[in-house]
């Protein structure tokens, strides 16, 4: 891993007589000044109207298809298992938003960090965490990532640089900013992807974080997953400024809206943002226009939106169908080839589900472990 | 083998529901994700999505059926290449779905486990005693403020991962001058002035700690940490447990705590009991400069999130501090400050001053009190207290928390449970009065604990 000596490690603070802050803010302004792509007011949801992103080659589309399908099938299975009483408590499914994490994951490198809120299964699978371990955590079993002690909202992987999995709306934002702080402190060129939703975007700590991130030029990409509903409250009913890409404007954080249903658009915007951060120019904000097909959690009947709205998104903007169509039409894949991929994914998910049911519950002695690390003190 | 569609649960508490409507009929081809039915519970109507691809071979439970039990087979699907006719002949009851059985068993197990299985006992915590000071150790008189500064500076020299952040910690050198000189020695990479944004920088510190750094986050006072409470408790304290031990959060939150002088209700509060309530946190509240130094150094090295409660009134007080290259103390160990035989006083931080004043007068009256400085509030060194109670048979707790669910309340509960037979008198508490701190000088004095109140409590438990 390349360690770049960061001149901005000192520009974090404003040493008297240094002009580093001025320099970087000039660089920023040229982008920040640009009007973010305006959203079309399509009924049933908004989507960013950008010129179409660079296409994926066959391998890229194949990988995106596999990765997104894994999340889709995993979540469907989780929903099913919840229905059977195998998964308890809260269970927030990611179905519909797959292009966001898969596109962003394609924009980062090994060693970059990821942190998110409670709708987190997709992020974990995207970072390469084992579906078995994730599913077994959902069922509260010993084989889960947190030995069954965390649950759906609380999983971590040091190995995959996944820092949770946080159940409190808005909390991952300063945490992700802190991960970025550590990158700068350690003089690495790592970047932290900090995901949060349109609901979290109204939390005060988000703006406290924005302020410090820009003030100290921290390498953090803030990814707002705007799925248009904070539980049952639409963005318009909760936000004075509904263009969330502008939420960093008063901190001079450049932001843009991205079609979060198109994995190509996500990766392209993600690469640009990550490059910006890696170059030491400070934080970057991406508003992913996306959509969740399911309710907020398993017990949400989603009566706050019209069925037509959901159906329209599913039939016209589905992130996986878009890629599937390209695979058939542009890359000339046969139905059989696609079926074989589907079969593979299904197998992986079924194995995860089986593991999640056969793995034993944690030993009662686990009740008392991992509270604090006991040490001799002195 | 057919694929069974079962009655789903829509919440952890749902046991049965009404199958309100079928959106598919026998012979229809469906794919995973299709809405195939609607079910009703007392709370809501929900759509049922297919989890598999296939052809509907048989609708087992017709629409309109009430009280359909969760996990009952409601339809059968024929998978690819299967004959729907043969599938529809299958008897769903006879071949109840595998996962459903598992679920039932699990549910049963859980029920029994709830009744039969006892929670295992918590592990015993062994804490080392204070290290013996080498012969010939020299002492230097230092204020608590200087001792804290030295502790941080020494640990920063020792470990590159340690840094200090907070409001006014760098250029201003600390609102209470605890970080004096640190910026000059370590530079602005490691001594970081923050905006006034407690919630934000506490969370930022947590993220940095999770990434492997060793942040010392200073709150100008712990009153302001209320703004950051969520990160202290939900993000810092619970991370190790929630991650199954995979991820830790080695961070020190420190700053002045407890009533100062004439600063009114919002700036006069001892938070020891608040933080001590939380599993996953360690709470330290030293009295002397030597303890402040030894414990802060240990805290910075400790792998857990630590709440380090200082006291503004004590900052300027001087004590002898051993001049050793590396003076650390065990976390979780109380100190018997003075041996005595008639009554045990249990206190910490600024509470100790009331005890010392009281003890001088009590001695004149022939009452020999033993004084225990808890130093660490969580984990609580109750063993040292119990040992003392076995000798004195009487306890008075002295602290500046409020009485309701305060630190004294916890000590009283534990002592009566563990040493009931040794007690010759009820346990009494001297605390801050159960009111917000008044500003007026006379009322403030009345609201705080006092040496006189300690004396009165001691006499009461000694029946004198």
The per-residue pLDDT for A158 is: 95
CA dist A265 and B449 (Å) reads 65
- Measured in Å, how far apart are chain B's first and last C-alpha atoms? 85
The per-residue pLDDT for B1 is: 66
CA dist A117 and B38 (Å) reads 30
The per-residue pLDDT for A265 is: 98
- 3-state secondary structure at position A288: strand
Is pLDDT at B14 greater than 90 in this prediction?
A: no
Q: Domain coordinates of chain A in residue numbers?
A: 64-356
Residues B149 and B37 reside in one and the same domain: no
CATH number at residue B368: 3.40.50.920
Contact assignment for B197 to A374 by CB distance below 8 Å: no
CA dist B132 and B327 (Å) reads 11
- Rg over alpha carbons for chain A, rounded to the nearest Å, is 21
CA dist A173 and B119 (Å) reads 36
Which ranges constitute the DSSP H helices of B267-378?
272-276, 289-301, 351-364
Residue B131: closest CA among chain A residues belongs to which residue?
A: A378
Residue B378 phi, psi dihedral angles, 5° rounding: -140, 120
**Cβ-proximal residues to B31 (8 Å cutoff; 6+ apart), any chain:** B50, B53
Is pLDDT at B2 greater than 60 in this prediction?
A: yes
Contact assignment for A80 to B247 by CB distance below 8 Å: no
Give the pLDDT confidence of A132-182 residue by residue, as tens digits.
999 999 999 999 999 999 999 999 999 999 999 999 999 999 999 999 999
- Which CATH superfamily includes the segment(s) A64-356? Thiamin diphosphate (ThDP)-binding fold, Pyr/PP domains (3.40.50.970)
Query: Cα torsion at B224, B230, B235, B236 (round to 10°)?
Result: 40
Residues B188 and B318 reside in one and the same domain: yes
The per-residue pLDDT for B64 is: 92
Lookup result for tokens 């001087």: B318
Give the pLDDT confidence of A52-101 residue by residue, as tens digits.
788 999 999 999 999 999 999 999 999 999 988 899 999 999 999 999 99
Contact assignment for A178 to B208 by CB distance below 8 Å: yes
CATH number at residue B295: 3.40.50.970
Residue A128 phi, psi dihedral angles, 5° rounding: 95, 10
Residues B98 and B229 reside in one and the same domain: no
List chain B residues with CB under 8 Å of A377: 127-128, 298, 302, 328-333
Residues B339 and B435 reside in one and the same domain: yes
Residues B152 and B247 reside in one and the same domain: yes
Residue B433 phi, psi dihedral angles, 5° rounding: -65, 155
What the block records as the tokens of A249 is: 């404007």
| Alpha carbon separation from A68 to A64, A80, A297, B243 (Å, rounded) | 6, 18, 20, 25
Q: Is B267 a catalytic residue?
A: yes
Secondary-structure percent of chain A, ordered helix, strand, coil, rounded to 5: 45, 10, 45
Catalytic residue selected from B155, B167, B173, B198 = B198
Return the number of CB contacts < 8 Å for A and B. Answer: 249
Element (H, E) at B441: helix B441-447
What the block records as the tokens of A241 is: 């400024």
Contact assignment for B207 to A375 by CB distance below 8 Å: no
Q: Considering the domain boundaries, does residue B40 fall inside one? A: yes
CATH number at residue B30: 2.40.50.100
Name the nearest CA neighbour of B356 among B262, B425, B450. Answer: B450
The per-residue pLDDT for B92 is: 52
CA dist B328 and B147 (Å) reads 12
Q: Considering the domain boundaries, does residue B131 fall inside one? A: no
Give the pLDDT confidence of A98-107 residue by residue, as tens digits.
999 999 999 9
Burial class (CB in 10 A: 0-12, 13-18, 19+), A279: middle
Residue A369 binned pLDDT confidence (cut-offs 50, 70, 90): very high
Give the pLDDT confidence of A306-323 residue by residue, as tens digits.
989 999 999 999 999 999
Name the nearest CA neighbour of A191 among A199, A182, A204. Answer: A182
Q: Considering the domain boundaries, does residue B330 fall inside one? A: no
The per-residue pLDDT for B288 is: 98
Quote the longest CA-to-CA distance of chain B: 100
ipTM field: 0.88
List chain B residues with CB under 8 Å of A359: none
Q: Considering the domain boundaries, does residue B384 fall inside one? A: yes
The per-residue pLDDT for B102 is: 43
Contact assignment for A378 to B329 by CB distance below 8 Å: yes
Name the nearest CA neighbour of B168 among B203, B209, B196. Answer: B196
- Among A175, A301, A367, whose Cβ lies nearest the Cβ of B206? A175
List chain B residues with CB under 8 Å of A72: 33
Residue B402 phi, psi dihedral angles, 5° rounding: -75, 155
- Among A72, A209, A365, whose Cβ lies nearest the Cβ of B204? A209
How many CA atoms does the CB half-sphere of A27 hold within 13 Å?
Answer: 16
List chain B residues with CB under 8 Å of A79: 49, 51
CA dist B191 and B182 (Å) reads 7
- Among A181, A299, A301, whose Cβ lies nearest the Cβ of B207? A181
Tell me which of A107-111, A301-305, B450-454, B459-463 is least confident: A301-305
CA dist B295 and B276 (Å) reads 17
Residues B339 and B430 reside in one and the same domain: yes
How far is residue A242 CA from its own chain's centroid? 20
CA dist A197 and A229 (Å) reads 9
List chain A residues with CB under 8 Å of B122: 368
Contact assignment for B194 to A212 by CB distance below 8 Å: yes
Give the pLDDT confidence of B242-267 residue by residue, as tens digits.
999 999 999 999 999 999 899 999 99
Average pLDDT along chain B: 91
For testing contact with chain B, the best of A12, A166, A174 (most B CBs within 10 A): A174
Q: Considering the domain boundaries, does residue B33 fall inside one? A: yes
Residue B113 binned pLDDT confidence (cut-offs 50, 70, 90): very low
List the domain range (segments joined by +) for residue B22.
3-104
- CA dihedral over A347, A353, A356, A357, signed as positive or negative: negative
Is pLDDT at A43 greater than 80 in this prediction?
A: no
DSSP bridge pairs for B38 = B21, B47
Residues B188 and B213 reside in one and the same domain: yes
Residues B317 and B347 reside in one and the same domain: no
Residue B426 binned pLDDT confidence (cut-offs 50, 70, 90): very high
Q: Is B110 a catalytic residue?
A: no
Residues B339 and B312 reside in one and the same domain: no
CA dist B330 and B295 (Å) reads 7
Percentage of chain B surpassing pLDDT 70? 93
Residues B398 and B286 reside in one and the same domain: no
The per-residue pLDDT for B156 is: 98
Q: Considering the domain boundaries, does residue B317 fall inside one? A: yes
Residues B94 and B148 reside in one and the same domain: no
B121 or A371, greater pLDDT? A371
Residues B279 and B174 reside in one and the same domain: yes
Catalytic residue selected from B267, B387, B444, B456 = B267
Q: Are B304 and B325 in contact (CB under 8 A)?
A: no
The number of domains in chain B is: 3
């Amino acid at each position: 891993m390349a360690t770049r000596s960061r001149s901005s490690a000192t520009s974090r603070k404003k040493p008297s007589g240094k002009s580093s802050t001025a320099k970087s803010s000039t660089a920023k302004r040229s982008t920040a000044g640009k009007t973010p792509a305006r959203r079309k007011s399509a009924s049933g949801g908004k989507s960013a109207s950008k010129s179409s992103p660079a296409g994926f080659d066959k391998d890229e589309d194949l990988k995106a298809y596999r990765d997104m399908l894994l999340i889709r099938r995993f979540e469907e299975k989780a929903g099913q298992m919840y229905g059977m009483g195998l998964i308890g408590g809260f269970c927030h499914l990611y179905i519909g938003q797959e292009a966001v994490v898969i596109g962003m994951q394609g924009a980062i490198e090994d060693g970059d960090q990821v942190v998110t809120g409670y709708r987190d299964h997709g992020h974990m699978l995207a970072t390469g965490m084992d579906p078995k371990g994730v599913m077994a955590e959902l069922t509260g079993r010993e084989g889960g990532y947190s030995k069954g002690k965390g649950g759906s909202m609380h999983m971590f992987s040091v190995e995959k640089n996944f820092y949770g999995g946080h159940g409190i709306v808005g909390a991952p934002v300063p945490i992700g900013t802190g991960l970025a702080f550590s990158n700068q402190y350690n003089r690495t060129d790592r970047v932290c992807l900090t995901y949060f939703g349109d609901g979290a975007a109204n939390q005060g700590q988000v703006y406290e974080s924005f302020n410090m991130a820009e003030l100290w030029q921290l390498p953090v990409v803030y990814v707002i997953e705007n799925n248009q509903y904070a539980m049952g409250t639409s963005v318009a009913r909760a936000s004075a400024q509904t263009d969330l890409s502008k939420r960093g404007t008063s901190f001079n954080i450049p932001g843009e809206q991205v079609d979060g249903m198109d994995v190509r658009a996500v990766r392209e915007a993600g690469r640009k943002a990550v490059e910006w951060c890696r170059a030491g120019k400070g934080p970057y904000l991406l508003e992913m226009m996306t959509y969740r097909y399911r309710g907020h959690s398993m017990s949400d009947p989603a009566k706050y939106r019209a069925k037509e709205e959901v159906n329209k998104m599913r039939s016209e903007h589905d992130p996986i169908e878009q890629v599937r169509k390209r695979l058939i039409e542009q890359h000339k894949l046969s139905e059989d080839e696609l079926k074989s991929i589907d079969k593979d994914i299904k197998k992986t998910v079924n194995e995860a589900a089986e593991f999640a049911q056969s793995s034993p519950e944690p030993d009662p002695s686990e009740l008392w472990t991992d509270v604090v690390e006991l040490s001799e003190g002195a | 083998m057919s694929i069974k569609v079962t009655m789903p649960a829509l919440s952890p508490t749902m046991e049965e529901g009404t199958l309100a409507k079928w959106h598919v009929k026998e012979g229809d081809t469906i794919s995973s994700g299709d809405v195939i039915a609607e079910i009703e519970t007392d709370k809501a109507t929900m759509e049922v999505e297919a989890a598999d691809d296939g052809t509907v071979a048989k609708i087992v439970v017709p629409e309109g059926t009430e009280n359909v039990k969760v996990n009952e087979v409601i339809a059968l699907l024929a998978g690819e290449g299967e004959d729907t006719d043969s599938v529809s002949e299958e008897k769903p009851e006879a071949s109840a779905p595998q996962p459903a059985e598992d679920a039932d068993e699990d549910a049963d197990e859980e029920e029994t486990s709830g009744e039969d299985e006892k929670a295992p006992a918590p592990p015993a915590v062994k804490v080392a005693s204070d290290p013996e000071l080498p012969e010939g150790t020299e002492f230097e008189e230092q204020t608590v403020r200087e001792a804290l500064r030295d502790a941080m500076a020494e640990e920063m020299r020792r470990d590159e991962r340690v840094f200090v952040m907070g409001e006014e910690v760098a250029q201003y050198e600390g609102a209470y001058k605890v970080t004096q000189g640190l910026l000059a020695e370590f530079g602005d990479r490691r001594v970081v002035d923050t905006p006034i944004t407690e919630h934000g920088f506490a969370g930022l510190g947590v993220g940095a700690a999770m990434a492997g750094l060793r942040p010392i986050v200073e709150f100008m006072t712990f009153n302001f940490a209320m703004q950051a409470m969520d990160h202290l408790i939900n993000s810092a304290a619970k991370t190790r447990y929630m991650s199954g031990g995979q991820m830790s959060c080695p961070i020190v939150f420190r700053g002045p705590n407890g009533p100062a002088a004439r600063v009114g209700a919002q700036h006069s509060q001892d938070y020891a009991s608040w933080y001590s309530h939380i599993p996953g946190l360690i709470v330290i509240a030293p009295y002397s400069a030597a303890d402040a130094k030894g414990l802060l150094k240990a805290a910075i090295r400790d792998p857990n999130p630590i709440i380090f409660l200082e006291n503004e009134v004590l900052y300027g007080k001087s004590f002898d501090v051993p001049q050793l290259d590396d003076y650390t103390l065990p976390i979780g160990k109380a100190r018997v400050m003075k041996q005595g035989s008639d009554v045990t006083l249990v206190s910490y931080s600024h509470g100790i001053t009331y005890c010392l004043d009281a003890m001088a007068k009590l001695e004149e009256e022939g009452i020999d009190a033993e004084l225990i400085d808890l130093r660490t509030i969580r984990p609580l060194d109750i063993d040292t207290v119990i040992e003392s109670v076995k000798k004195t048979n009487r306890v008075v707790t002295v602290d500046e928390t409020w009485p309701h669910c305060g630190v004294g309340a916890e000590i009283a509960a534990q002592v009566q449970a563990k040493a009931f037979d040794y007690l010759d008198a009820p346990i009494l508490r001297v605390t801050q009065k159960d009111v917000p701190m008044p500003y007026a000088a006379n009322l403030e004095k009345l609201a705080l604990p006092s040496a006189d109140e300690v004396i009165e409590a001691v006499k009461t438990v000694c029946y004198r």
